[in-house]
Structure 1
Amino acid sequence: MSTHKGTIYRVSGPLVIAENVRGVSVYEVIEVGEERLIGEAIGVEGDKAIIQVYEDTTGLKVGDPVYPTGQPLSAELGPGLIKSIFDGIQRPLPVIEALSGIFVRKGVRVTPLPRDKKWYFIPLVKPGDKVIEGDFIGYVNETEVVKHYIMVPPGINGIIEWVASEGDYSIVEPIAKIGGKEVSMLQKWPVRRPRPYKEKLEPREPFITGIRVIDFLFPLAKGGKAAVPGGFGTGKTVLLHTVTKWSEADITIYIGCGERGNEMADALNSFIKLIDPKTGKPMMERSIFIANTSNMPVAAREASIFLGVTLGEYYRDMGYNVLLVADSTSRWAEAMREISGRLEELPGEEGFPAYLASRLAQFYERSGYVKTIGSTERTGSLTIMGAVSPPGADFSEPVTQSTLRLIRALYALDVNLAYRRHYPSINWLTSFSLYVDNVTEWWSKISHEYSYLRER
């Protein structure tokens, strides 16, 4: 870990090269300039570090200081996530609006989760109990529909020496002591590191979206991964909004990655007004939004993707079925292309970096239906749907082709169907699902004619 203050050597858009920083690790958070802008080291060469800055770098100059933190980019996990609206690096946008107005001011620092809010904690263990990582210590009612379980953090095992009595506590107050270590309701987890699980299972149950052409013809399984490619105006965003609103997910996470701000505003507005038919409560009571729109720094698109999947894994570990929607992974790929170009790396096809497919894989492969860690038998799922925006509806372009190798369900949107106002414009000849055999047994319990009718 480095605490040595360095200086800026060169600035190139969202990239900053700093010198005299020794001992810095790749993906370590580095604060840049007098305003301490949040950045992440994406390359280290001797005592120089290449920093990807997640805020506007206008005004930075050679000689300005940089401050290594010794910590990776991490997500705060705990009560207060549901109903939140974050930017790509988990800053709560409603709190920032109260501080700096409708535009995010450079260098503004706000904790992702409120430290002053009290949560009514109900313990589920007692002193003397033996617990392992992933076990439930207790719970709080995060919203009227989501019970937030407080879990033993990964890496901690032992005997419960002390546990807080039922009552109101903030997320930073100790609620238990396990093997000499105090545990609070707040956990931090590096966004680029997948959270652990016991075993990844083959998906067997369909993830019901409420859209007939998907559920019947091209089913998606719980813990599955799917892509929605389509040209401009074919209805990608509307389809993803619809799935997010009406699917059977316990928790929904919507990432607006580089798309227009009005689309995000529309989703937020409808989620506040819409009533969930299962619970009778507003949809917002089980939703998290990450708003990283097109007018925000491009570098933060990558952070928003990995932040969203980390939050999804956290609720999966509680035993919930989580849906993560990313709109759109193409905007993230375009950000990668810009960063790669500024680094003067050897370009791949159409100027995208050679590591495009591996970065997409790091995201999609964190989906899954798993046995969670913990001493009790518990399963949870994280289902991922990512929109792809191929220019000119050309599905042969690199982002679509790289995504096709990773996903197991494709909902290809057709320009001609969309122009004929046939929505959702899912082309039934181009689309496919590799989950059909997985879910046939489940469907046969509903109707023994499922396979016959689908094949017809």
Structure 2
Amino acid sequence: MSKTGIIYGINGPVIYLKGNTGFEMSEMVYVGKERLVGEVIALDKDRTTIQVYEETSGLRPGEEVIATGDAVSVILAPGILNNIFDGIERPLEKISETGGAFITKGVSVDNLDKTKKWKTHFTIKEGDYVNGGDIFAEVPETRAIVHKCMIPPHLHGTVVSVKEDGAYTIEEPLIVIDPGTGRTVEIPMAQKWPIRTPRPVSRRFSASVPLITGQRIIDTMFPIAKGGTAAIPGGFGTGKTMTQHQIAKWSDADIIIYIGCGERGNEMTQVLEEFGELTDPRTGNPLMDRTTLIANTSNMPVAAREASIYTGLTLAEYYRDMGYDVAIMADSTSRWAEALRELSGRLEEMPAEEGFPAYLASRLSAFYERAGMMQNLNGTKGSVSIIGAVSPQGGDFSEPVTQNTKRFVRCFWGLDKSLAYARHFPAIHWLTSYSEYLQDLSHWYQDNVSPKFVDYRNRLMALLNQESSLLEIVKLIGSDVLPDDQKLILEIARVIRLGFLQQNAFHKDDTCVSMEKQFLMMDTILYLYKQARALVTMGHPMSVLKSEPIFERVISIKYDVPNDRLEMFAQYRRDIDTFYQNVLEKNA
């Protein structure tokens, strides 16, 4: 018999049951006649508290709540990719077929298609001994990704029977194992996993390989490792979502999980439309073939917004266990924190700073700690990288969500309003951003790009820092009084800002740039600086140097050198040498 309780109080998405119901903490329940999905969040001997993941209008005291015996879980099986779900893994396309454009209350649809047959190839045979996490079959889920069906983590035993290769649904038993308990266990493709429980792994690796995004200011200046964590904070209109879109489109992650948590519906529509039209540069197939979207927009129930982050994480960990590199785009963790704040207020908990609950930091920590490069139970290596947008009110980075996020991420890409309004994108400011992965990844850059890469990057940063100091003086007394060597620093810093840091997402050669091209661009800029500084040291004034078109030529490298014509950089070196000779001859 299912355990039941009777509603005696309702406060928005929070409902109360009187007496000892026998429910368990974090248990999933069905609430009222419409069977709304909820979760037990607090228990004492006289009262059970439940948060409901759907709209509670029309719910009345006296209605029944039925326990399911399971925690809030997701179904893990083929069919997750090229799909869009709500915060608790209900497919929005299926919901729209039954309820139209809006999610109706108590809508009941299968998380994944239970009737579709998937072409299955088995990788084990009768008599094999299998452990939790071992791969027993492969299914071509999309044109880009092979889905690897795994033994549930808590099971192990000898394979008693295996079906022949063929087409099967996700619920059909495919293999039977004998765990040695006297009873055999049938294993289908699908498995259930509670969203708040991290999936087990063998070991965690330290950061050693960068997540290549094709964005110069990220890959070169403030890199993130595979299995790393990053925050993108910024005020309204500074480009958080667009930066995440660029990373989702061009990064070398195998799978993208995009979580639209409390964002505007039109932004999620744009993601859907864009991703549906985009071609994956690696495979030539549609990008959606390796993407899953979780949409929990600002007009959806607030409790489901809190769950959507964990739903996305669990899907990401599942694909990581297959040996894939997964990147999560969480947009935005501020809206998730606001959901926590609203629920905390309904529960009458003691508020901390700016009304957020006292456990905000621990929840953020638990979220970001599930990232990492892992050795899985089956011996494969996979990663989950988390890139979370933060939307501080008024662009104030001192507010609690941004400050607590900084404690748990190792990469901080601070977006600047003045850069965005000046049409400098990505609007990541080089003075407020940082990456703690640079040292960890230096060996990779040395072995795979150039031994000079990190040195060149540091020299560019030093020039930008010097420019910042000089601009303070320029504000006070003007640039005319500066000596020529300092005027040169201002000019080279302008070349770095416009020619290297600024990037055009709509230009075919500039939207995504290889590491080799990024290095050659740095090399050209620093060679120009070396030659120009030699001329200034000889006494040639900056006015003469600026009369030559070389500075503008170097700025336009990003457009003028196609990504497949990197040999053209040699011509730029010759042009810089010509510029050097021209200045010498003019002032001979």
TM over 0.5: yes
Contact kept? 1:257, 1:294, Cα under 8 Å:
yes
Aligned partners of 1:36 and 1:379: how far apart in 2?
41
What is the CA-CA distance between 1:246 and the residue it aligns to? 0.8
Question: Paired residue for 1:451?
Answer: 454
Contact kept? 1:156, 1:178, Cα under 8 Å:
no
Contact kept? 2:373, 2:382, Cα under 8 Å:
yes
Question: Paired residue for 2:423?
Answer: 421
Q: 3-state DSSP class of the match of 1:241?
A: helix
Question: Paired residue for 2:329?
Answer: 325
Higher-Rg member (1/2): 2
Cα deviation, 1:314-339, whole Å, max 9, x if unaligned, reads: 00000000000100000011111111
Q: 3-state DSSP class of the match of 2:174?
A: strand
What is the CA-CA distance between 1:47 and the residue it aligns to? 4.1
Report 1:367-446 matches (<5 A).
367-374=371-378, 377-445=379-447, 446=449
Contact kept? 1:37, 1:54, Cα under 8 Å:
yes
Aligned partners of 2:95 and 2:398: how far apart in 1?
41
The CA RMSD measured in Å over matched residues stands at 0.9
> Partner letter of residue 414 of structure 2?
A
Structure 2 residue 238 is the aligned partner of structure 1 residue 238: no
Aligned partners of 2:291 and 2:210: how far apart in 1?
21
As a proportion of its length, which structure holds more strand? Answer: 1
Aligned partners of 2:299 and 2:33: how far apart in 1?
23
Aligned partners of 2:317 and 2:367: how far apart in 1?
12
Aligned partners of 1:119 and 1:233: how far apart in 2?
43
Aligned partners of 2:317 and 2:395: how far apart in 1?
32
Question: Paired residue for 2:146?
Answer: 147
Aligned partners of 1:116 and 1:52: how far apart in 2?
32
Aligned partners of 1:447 and 1:47: how far apart in 2?
66
Contact kept? 2:3, 2:23, Cα under 8 Å:
no
What is the CA-CA distance between 1:68 and the residue it aligns to? 1.3
Aligned partners of 1:270 and 1:21: how far apart in 2?
50
Question: Paired residue for 1:8?
Answer: 7
Question: Paired residue for 1:112?
Answer: 111
Pick the aligned partner of 2:193 from 189, 192, 199: 189
Query: Greater CA deviation, 131-140 or 20-29?
Result: 20-29
Contact kept? 2:20, 2:44, Cα under 8 Å:
no
Report 1:240-389 matches (<5 A).
240-374=244-378, 377-389=379-391
Contact kept? 1:5, 1:21, Cα under 8 Å:
no
Question: Paired residue for 2:136?
Answer: 137
Question: Paired residue for 1:156?
Answer: 155
Question: Paired residue for 2:70?
Answer: 71
Cα deviation, 1:191-236, whole Å, max 9, x if unaligned, reads: 0000000000101000001111000010100000000000111000
What is the CA-CA distance between 1:20 and the residue it aligns to? 3.9
Aligned partners of 1:80 and 1:106: how far apart in 2?
24
Aligned partners of 1:21 and 1:188: how far apart in 2?
28
Aligned partners of 1:31 and 1:156: how far apart in 2?
29
For these two proteins, the number of residue pairs brought into alignment is 453
Aligned partners of 1:391 and 1:345: how far apart in 2?
23
How high is the sequence identity, in percent, across the aligned residues? 53
Structure 2 residue 202 is the aligned partner of structure 1 residue 227: no
Contact kept? 1:206, 1:439, Cα under 8 Å:
yes
Cα deviation, 1:273-312, whole Å, max 9, x if unaligned, reads: 0101100000000000000000100111111000000000
Aligned partners of 2:418 and 2:165: how far apart in 1?
60
Q: Which runs of 5+ in 1 are unaligned?
A: none
TM-score scaled by structure 1?
Answer: 0.98
> Partner letter of residue 430 of structure 2?
W
Q: 3-state DSSP class of the match of 2:127?
A: coil
Cα deviation, 1:215-268, whole Å, max 9, x if unaligned, reads: 001010000000000011100011111111111110000000000000000011
Aligned partners of 1:339 and 1:151: how far apart in 2?
36
Q: 3-state DSSP class of the match of 1:306?
A: helix
Contact kept? 2:207, 2:228, Cα under 8 Å:
yes
Question: Paired residue for 2:181?
Answer: none
Cα deviation, 1:157-179, whole Å, max 9, x if unaligned, reads: 11111111000100000110111
Q: Which runs of 5+ in 2 are unaligned?
A: 179-183, 460-588
What is the CA-CA distance between 1:4 and the residue it aligns to? 2.5
Question: Paired residue for 1:167?
Answer: 166
What is the CA-CA distance between 1:182 and the residue it aligns to? 0.6
Aligned partners of 2:400 and 2:62: how far apart in 1?
39
Structure 2 residue 104 is the aligned partner of structure 1 residue 102: no
Aligned partners of 1:104 and 1:213: how far apart in 2?
40
Contact kept? 2:152, 2:191, Cα under 8 Å:
yes
Contact kept? 2:368, 2:386, Cα under 8 Å:
yes
Question: Paired residue for 2:34?
Answer: 35
Q: 3-state DSSP class of the match of 1:275?
A: coil
As a proportion of its length, which structure holds more helix? Answer: 2
Contact kept? 1:223, 1:369, Cα under 8 Å:
yes
Contact kept? 2:176, 2:185, Cα under 8 Å:
yes
Contact kept? 1:226, 1:409, Cα under 8 Å:
yes
What is the CA-CA distance between 1:89 and the residue it aligns to? 0.8
What is the CA-CA distance between 1:3 and the residue it aligns to? 2.5
